[in-house]
A and B are shown apart, each in its own frame.
Chain A
Amino acid sequence: MEERNELVQKLKGELIDALNLEEIDPEGIGTDESLFGAEGLGLDSIDALEIILLLDRNYGIKIKNPAEGKEIFKTVGTIADYILAHKAE
């Protein structure tokens, strides 16, 4: 659980950098808050590509089909879970 919490915090910082979310600080992103769509942060398909690059660059995780991102990138929490599940591979 500790590992997940740390990862979540790290991811929030990385997302803010990669997506240039200049007006948001890590505390402003809820771990289970929707990243995409009007209700949450309002990210879009281009941001999804940036997240794919981030996972590849920082975690060595490759996502070939952008459509897969829809489920994986729902929240910071789901991204963290995906990283934890695939890092072992």
Chain B
Amino acid sequence: MNRVYVIGAGAVCAIGGNLEESLRSLEAGESGLVPAPASLTGTGLPVGLVKESDAVLEAGLGIPSYRLISRTALLGMKAAREAWKSAAPKIRRVGRIGLISGTSVGGMDLSEKYWKGHRDEIRSGRPLGEAALDYLRMHACGEGTAAIAEYLGLGFDFVTTISTACSSAANAIMLGARLIAAGELETAIVGGADALTAFTINGFNSLMIYSGKPCRPFAEERDGLNLGEGAGYLVLSSSSEGALCEVAGWANVNEAFHQTASSPEGDGPYSAMTKALSLAGLDPSRVGYVNTHGTATPGNDASEYAALRRVFGSKLPPFGSVKNLIGHTLGASEGIEACFCAASIAGLTSAWGRPDCILSNAFGFSGNQTSLVFLKCGEPSEAVTVDRKEIEPVPPAGFKRTSRGDYDLVAEVKISEGEEPDYKAIIKNANLRRRMSSLIKRGVAAGLECLSSAGMLDSEGKLKEELGGLITATGFGFLEDTLKFGDSIIDQQEKALNPQPFMQSTFNTIGGQLAQLLGERCYNMTYVHGRSGFGAALADAALLMKEGSGPVLVGWFEEDNAVSDSVLRQLGRKVLPHEARFMLLRAK
């Protein structure tokens, strides 16, 4: 097992156009929260706005202005380029290199603008004009990552996108670390990007957890979060040369509690934090600072604080949140915050004192919770004590090599649109089922049927054996719900919106619902990178089994949607398979 080092970092957020500037503001405690500009939303809610306009970002990146690029991708390019520039001089051998990026809504900033004036034209399924295609082509999360990869031009061996709501970037960092630890990659650019959108601002506002005032994480009188935008990337390497710090531990769990709420006792956060520390071989007393998820919603902060108390007892280290300065940057949050963690350990800022070890949290909808441990280089730790099975190395981009010999395909179940089974008989929990959209039902049912035909479920529908992971992939995800919520923003002038379609549109919903139905707190991941995202999901499953995990449930889901089909056709790409397909894999 290789150690994993952070050798470069780059960030752009509401308090700085690069990492150095952001660190200065962080140290000064300067807030970047401002009332949202009218061009974005009429709500006037506080947001963490990146100061550079799209045009300024494009000019700085040397991108010709005739090329329409989503703001999410522009922010990502800027931060990833800074990270790579700071790392490149330290690298002797790049070796196999990957780019793994997290995002919550991808190129929504661009597509929602066009949707507003051209809904009927797009929905009709008629051939789209050039302008429409320009605006819509980057909507899918993977397109932004592909644009960043193309811009960096490093000849990546592996490129993928993770979307697990607010833990996306944390999971991207974790996957990069796991691939380097396992020897699959030698260098990885990992993090996330998200631009502010009317979609997300109205989404959180409809859930009544968006504060009208600058947010106050962990304060008694806190009343919700503020969103922000930005991007942050780390360069991870198997070589320690010039390293800022080490990524010593990581863990992802599903809280299996509720789609949007956190458990009052902090069960999920407790489990993520203790697992990450135990993987690092570190006692909690070694932690010098905790960078919390700390969104300032009443629920998150209570749950996270309860978990901190359980992990650290009476010896709670200093902890804090940067969300009162930069806002909650959703899928980018841990990307930016991990840069702050690495910089703190390297002594580039004293905003958080001089910690040698930082525990950093990121929690997302559908119970997706991740903790990372950053450690000063040379500090003693028992790097990684997992039982490793001998499995042939997996080429991260594919799965063909491993499918032959290393694990068995125990069961496979496919449900296509129009061939719907009796969902009441399969998804027995009526309270969860009644809220599911048809695609969610299809995916959840395919997952349950797959487990059932693999003999994994008892007569009550409970798992007989723990799962090693629950991994899904999709191209456009829950597009119908996304469009429905987009429509309501326009039709109801951002007022009294129903939060259901917003919640359901989160890409990791099926994985989260399965975890909740099964009461399974295992590793939970969602790839949103077109067709190849499913390859990444399978590679992740193979990696989990190589790390010693039990059987892994891997699924693909995509709905039959005229809008996504029409965009793909006109881009000259293949339409994605409209089905829910799950496989259960088990190491030999």
| Chain A residues packing against B (C-beta within 8 Å) | 19-23, 42-46, 49-50, 52-53, 56-57, 65-67
CB distance from B497 to the nearest CB of A (A): 8
Which residue of B206, B298, B431 contacts A49 across the interface (Cβ within 8 Å)?
B206
Which partner residue on chain B sits nearest A42 by CB separation? B431
Q: Please name all residues of chain A whose beta carbon is closer than 8 Å to the beta carbon of B349 when the two chains form the complex.
A: none
A32 to B578, CA, bound (A): 45
What is the minimal beta-carbon distance from B510 to any residue of chain A, in angstroms? Answer: 17
Are A19 and B206 neighbours in the complex by a CB distance under 8 Å?
no
Task: Return chain B residues, CB-CB under 8 Å to A49.
Answer: 206-208, 499
> Can you report 17 residue pairs joining A to B where beta carbons are below 8 Å apart?
A19-B434, A22-B430, A22-B434, A23-B430, A42-B431, A44-B431, A45-B260, A45-B261, A46-B260, A46-B500, A46-B503, A49-B208, A52-B208, A53-B496, A65-B223, A66-B208, A67-B298
| Cβ contacts B218-234/A at 8 Å (1 or 0 each) | 00000100000000000
Q: Check B402 for interface membership: any CB of A closer than 8 A.
A: no
A19 to B145, alpha carbons, bound, how many Å? 38
Most buried by B among A43, A44, A52, A57: A44
List the B side residues contacting A56 at CB < 8 Å. 496
Which of chain A's residues have a CB closer than 8 A to the CB of B503? 46
Please determine whether A57 and B260 come into contact, CB atoms closer than 8 angstroms: no
Binary contact track B492-512/A, C-beta < 8 Å → 1, others 0: 000010111001000000000
Question: Is B206 a contact partner of A20 (Cβ separation < 8 A)?
Answer: no
**Cβ–Cβ contact B261 & A44, under 8 A:** yes
Query: Which of B258, B260, B430, B498 is A50 in contact with, Cβ under 8 Å?
Result: B498
A23 to B259, CA, bound (A): 21
Q: In the complex, what residues of B have CB within 8 A of residue A21's CB?
A: 434
Mostly helix, strand, loop or mixed at chain B's interface?
loop
Residue of A nearest to B208 (CB): A66
B435 interface hit (Cβ, 8 Å): yes
Contact B259 A57 (CB under 8 A): no
Within 8 A of A (CB), among B10-59: none
Residues of A within 8 A of B261 (CB): 44-45
Q: How far is the CB of B560 from chain A (nearest CB, A)?
A: 22
> Of A22, A42, A43, A46, which contacts B499 at CB under 8 A?
A46
CA A45 to CA B207, docked complex, whole Å: 9
- Whole-angstrom CA separation of A46 from B260 in the bound complex: 8
Contact with A along B175-219 (1 / 0, CB 8 A): 000000000000000000000000000000011100000000000
- Hey, which chain A residues are within 8 Å of B259, CB to CB? 46
Closest to B206 in A: A49
Q: Are B435 and A20 in contact (CB under 8 A)?
A: yes
Q: Using an 8 Å CB-CB cutoff, how does the interface string of B260-288 with A read, 1 for contact, 0 for none?
A: 11000000000000000000000000000
Residues of B within 8 A of A22 (CB): 430, 434
A-B interface, 7 closest residue pairs, ranked by CB to CB distance from nearest: A20-B434, A66-B208, A42-B431, A45-B261, A23-B430, A56-B496, A49-B499
Chain B residues closer than 8 Å to A23, beta-carbon distance: 430, 434
Which residues of chain A come closer than 8 Å to B496, judged between CB atoms? Answer: 53, 56-57
Q: B258 — which chain A residues lie within 8 A by C-beta?
A: 44-45
A19 to B430, CA, bound (A): 12
For A42, what are the chain B residues with a Cβ–Cβ distance below 8 Å? Answer: 431
- Complex Cα spacing A3 to B260, Å: 37
B148 → chain A closest CB, angstroms: 34
- C-alpha gap A46/B430 in the complex (Å): 15
B94 shortest CB reach to chain A, Å: 47
